Chains A and B, each alone.
Chain A
Amino acid sequence: MPDPPAQPAAPKPAPRRAASAAKKVTRREFPFLAIGWGMFTAAMAAGLTAAGRFMFPNVLTEPPSTFTAGFPDDFAIGVVDTRFKERYQVWIVRDEEGIYALSTICTHLGCTPNWLEAESKFKCPCHGSGFYASGINFEGPAPRPLERVGVSLAEDGQVLIDKSRLFKFEAGQWNDPASFLSLT
Chain B
Amino acid sequence: MSKVAPGHAHNISKLNVIFAVSSVFLLFSTLWMIWFDYSREWKGFQRQFVQMERDLTARQIQEAQQGINQADLQRVQGELQQAQTALAAEQAALEAIEAEIADLDTRRTLADIREREIKAVYDSDKFYYEETRERGTPLGRAVSDEEFAALETSFFTARDVRVAIDFELTQKRAELREQRSSVTELAGAMEELTQAVTLARNKLDSLAPSFPNTFRNLPVVDFIDPSIEVRQVLVRNVTEELNFAQVPRIDRCQTCHLAIDNPDYADAPQPFTTHPNLDIFVSRESSHPVDDFGCTSCHLGRGRKLSFSGATHMPESVEEEHAWMEQYGWKEDHYWDNPMYQANLTEAGCIKCHRDQVFIPGAQHLNQSRMTYELSGCWGCHNTAGYEDKRNRGPSLKRIAHKTDRDFVARWVRDPKAFRQSTWMPTFWNLDNNPDSDLQARNDTEVAAIVEYVFEHSTDDADYAAPPRGSAARGEALVNEIGCLGCHLTDETGYDQASIYRRRGPALVGTGTKLDAGFVYEWVRNPRHYWEETYMPDLRLTDQEAADITAWLMGLESNGFASMGVPQADAGELDELTREFLRTSLPDAMAAERLAGMSERDKLLFSGEWLIRRHGCFGCHEIGGFEDAQKIGVDLSTWGSKMVTRLDFGYIDIPHTRQAWLEQKLTSPRSYDRGKVKAPAEKLRMPQFGFTDSDRQHIVRNVLGLVRDEFPQEGTKTLSAAEAVAEQARHLIHNYNCRGCHLIDGVGGGIYETIEDTGMRPPDLHTQGRRTQADWLYHFLEDPTEVRFWLTARMPSFNFTNEEANTLISGFLAMDGGQPFDDEQAREYDRAELRVGAQLLDQLQCERCHIAAAAGTMEASQLAPSFRLAGERLTHDWIVDWMLDPQSITPGTQMPQFWPTDQQGNRLTPLPDILDGDPMAQMRAVASYLMNYDR
Q: Is there direct touching of A and B in the complex, by C-beta distance under 8 Å?
A: yes
Residues of A within 8 A of B (CB): 17-18, 21, 26, 28-29, 31-33, 35-40, 42-43, 46-47, 49-50, 53, 56, 58-59, 61, 63, 138-139, 155, 184
Counting CB contacts under 8 A, is B86 at the interface? no
For A31, A43, A155, the residue with the greatest tally of chain B CB atoms inside 10 Å of its CB is A43
**Complex interface residues of chain B between 1 and 48 (CB less than 8 A to chain A):** 1, 5-8, 12-13, 16-17, 19-20, 23-24, 26-27, 30-31, 33-34, 37
Q: Does A139 contact B23, Cβ atoms closer than 8 Å?
A: no
A58 vs B250: C-alpha distance in the bound complex, in angstroms?
14
B232–A59 touching, CB < 8 Å: yes
CB distance from A28 to the nearest CB of B (A): 7
Q: Give the residues in chain B near A49, CB-CB below 8 Å.
A: 34, 220
- From B17, B220, B226, give the contact of A53 (CB < 8 A): B220
* Pair A21/B24 contact, Cβ less than 8 Å: no
Residue in A closest to B199 when the chains form the complex, CB atoms: A155
Q: How far is the CA of A152 from the CA of B247 in the complex (A)?
A: 35
Residue B250 contacts which of A37, A50, A61, A155 (CB distance < 8 angstroms)?
A: A61
B-to-A contact residues, CB < 8 Å: 1, 5-8, 12-13, 16-17, 19-20, 23-24, 26-27, 30-31, 33-34, 37, 116, 119-120, 123, 184, 188, 199, 203, 220, 222-223, 226, 229-230, 232, 234, 248, 250, 252
Asked whether, in the complex, the Cβ of A36 is within 8 Å of the Cβ of B5, the reply is: no
Q: Is the CB of B6 within 8 A of A39?
A: no
The chain B residue sitting closest to A47, CB to CB, is: B30
Establish whether residues A39 and B250, one from each chain, have CB atoms under 8 Å apart when the complex forms: no
In Å, the complex CA distance between A35 and B24 comes to: 8
Inter-chain pairs besides A29-B13, A139-B116, 10 sampled, C-beta below 8 Å: A17-B6, A21-B8, A32-B20, A33-B20, A35-B23, A36-B20, A40-B23, A50-B34, A58-B229, A139-B120
On whether the beta carbons of B123 and A139 are closer than 8 Å, the reply is yes
| With A39-B26, A40-B26: A58-B16 Cβ-Cβ less than 8 Å | no
Q: How far is the CA of A26 from the CA of B12 in the complex (A)?
A: 11
Chain A, residue nearest B23 (CB)? A39
The residue on B at minimum CB distance from A46 is B30
On chain B, the residues within 8 Å of A31 by CB distance are: 20
A26 to B248, CA, bound (A): 63
Chain B residues in 8 Å Cβ range of A155: 199, 203
Is the beta-carbon distance between B27 and A43 smaller than 8 angstroms? yes
- Interface centre among A31, A46, A184, by most B CB within 10 Å? A46
How far, in angstroms, from A40 to B25 measured CA to CA in the complex? 9
User: Whole-angstrom distance between the alpha carbons of A49 and B8 in the complex?
Assistant: 35
Query: A32 and B223 in contact (CB under 8 A), knowing A21-B8, A59-B230?
Result: no
Q: Which residue of the partner chain A has the closest CB to B13?
A: A29
20 examples of A-B residue contacts, CB within 8 angstroms: A17-B6, A21-B6, A26-B13, A28-B1, A31-B20, A33-B16, A35-B20, A36-B23, A39-B24, A40-B19, A40-B23, A42-B27, A43-B23, A46-B30, A50-B34, A56-B223, A59-B232, A138-B116, A155-B199, A184-B184
Contact partner, A50, options B12, B33, B119, B199, Cβ 8 Å: B33
- Nearest residue, chain B, Cβ from A56: B223
Collect the chain B residues with CB atoms within 8 Å of residue A53's CB: 220, 223
- Specify which of A29, A36, A47, A49 lies most central, judged by the most chain B CB atoms within 10 Å of its CB: A36
Q: How far is the CA of A115 from the CA of B286 in the complex (A)?
A: 32
B7 touching A43 by the CB < 8 A rule?
no
Closest Cβ of chain B to A150, distance in Å, is 14
SS of B interface (majority):
helix
Q: How far is the CB of B184 from chain A (nearest CB, A)?
A: 7
**Residues from chain A with Cβ under 8 Å of B119 in the complex:** 138-139
Q: Closest B residue to A33 by CB, please name it.
A: B16
The 5 lowest CB-CB distance pairs between A and B, nearest first, are: A39-B23, A56-B223, A36-B20, A43-B27, A59-B230
Using a Cβ cutoff of 8 Å, how many contacts connect chains A and B?
A: 84
Enumerate chain A residues within 8 angstroms of B188, measured Cβ to Cβ. 184
Give the contacting residue for B30; candidates A21, A35, A43, A59; CB below 8 A. A43
Out of A37, A47, A63, A184, name the residue touching B23 (CB < 8 Å): A37
B23 — which chain A residues lie within 8 A by C-beta?
35-40, 43
| Chain B min CB distance to A76 (Å) | 20
Q: Using Cβ atoms and an 8 Å threshold, which residues of chain B touch A138?
A: 116, 119
Knowing A138-B116, A139-B123, say if A32 contacts B19 (CB, 8 Å): yes
Which residues of B are found within 8 Å of A56, using beta-carbon distances? 223
- Contact across chains for A21 and B5 when beta carbons are under 8 A apart: yes
Q: Cα distance A18–B5 when bound, in Å?
A: 9
**Chain A nearest CB: distance from B643 CB in Å?**
28
Contact indicator A21/B116 (Cβ below 8 Å): no
Q: Is the CB of B7 within 8 A of A21?
A: yes
A56 to B116 alpha-carbon distance, docked (Å): 44
State in angstroms the CA–CA spacing of A138 and B120 once bound together.
10
Would you call A58 and B27 a contact (CB within 8 A)? no
Query: Are B116 and A58 in contact, with the CB atoms below 8 A?
Result: no
Complexed CA–CA distance, A111 and B19 (Å): 56
Nearest CB on B from A68, distance (A): 8
Q: B931 to nearest A CB, angstroms? A: 40
* A181 smallest CB distance to B (angstroms): 13
CB distance from A17 to the nearest CB of B (A): 5
* A24 → chain B closest CB, angstroms: 10
Distance to closest chain B CB from A21 (angstroms): 5
Separation in Å of the A184 CB from the closest CB of chain B?
A: 7
Whether B34 pairs with A46 at a CB distance below 8 angstroms is yes
Chain A residues within 8 Å of B252, by CB: 59
List residues of chain B with CB within 8 A of the CB of A17. 6-7
Bound Cα distance from A17 to B226, whole angstroms: 59
Nearest CB of chain A from residue B441's CB, rounded to whole Å: 68
**Known pairs A58-B223, A61-B250; A32 contacts B27 (CB<8 A):** no
Is there contact, CB below 8 Å, between A32 and B30?
A: no
- Residues on B with C-beta less than 8 A from A21 are 5-8
Kindly list chain B residues whose C-beta atoms are within 8 Å of the C-beta of A139.
Answer: 116, 119-120, 123
CA distance in complex: A67, B252 (Å)? 17
Contact status A58-B230, CB under 8 Å: yes
Shortest CB-to-CB span from B197 to chain A, Å, is 13
Chain B residues lying within 8 Å of A47, measured Cβ to Cβ, are 30
Nearest B residue to A128 via CB reads B123
Which one of B8, B27, B222, B226 contacts A46 once the chains associate, using CB atoms below 8 Å? B27
Task: Please determine whether B26 and A43 come into contact, CB atoms closer than 8 angstroms.
Answer: yes
Instruction: Give the complex CA separation of A39 and B199 in angstroms.
Output: 50
Q: What separation, in Å, do the CA atoms of A49 and B24 have in the docked complex?
A: 18
Q: Which residues of B contact A38 (CB under 8 A)?
A: 23
Q: How far is the CA of A12 from the CA of B17 in the complex (A)?
A: 33
Known interface pairs A36-B23, A56-B223, A184-B188; A61-B234 also in contact (CB < 8 Å): yes
Q: With A32-B16, A36-B16, A39-B20 known to touch, is A18 a contact of B7 (CB < 8 Å)?
A: yes
| Cβ contact within 8 Å between A50 and B19 | no
User: Distance in Å from the Cβ of A15 to the closest Cβ of chain B?
Assistant: 8
CA distance A29 to B13 in the complex (A): 6
Contact A28 B13 (CB under 8 A): yes
Contact B234 A50 (CB under 8 A): no
Tell whether, in the assembled complex, residue A39 and residue B223 are in contact, meaning their CB atoms are under 8 Å apart. Answer: no
Q: How far is the CA of A145 from the CA of B188 in the complex (A)?
A: 30
| Cross-chain contact B7 with A36 (CB below 8 angstroms) | no
Complex alpha-carbon distance, A21 and B37, angstroms: 44
Chain A residues whose CB sits within 8 angstroms of the CB of B12 once the complex forms: 29
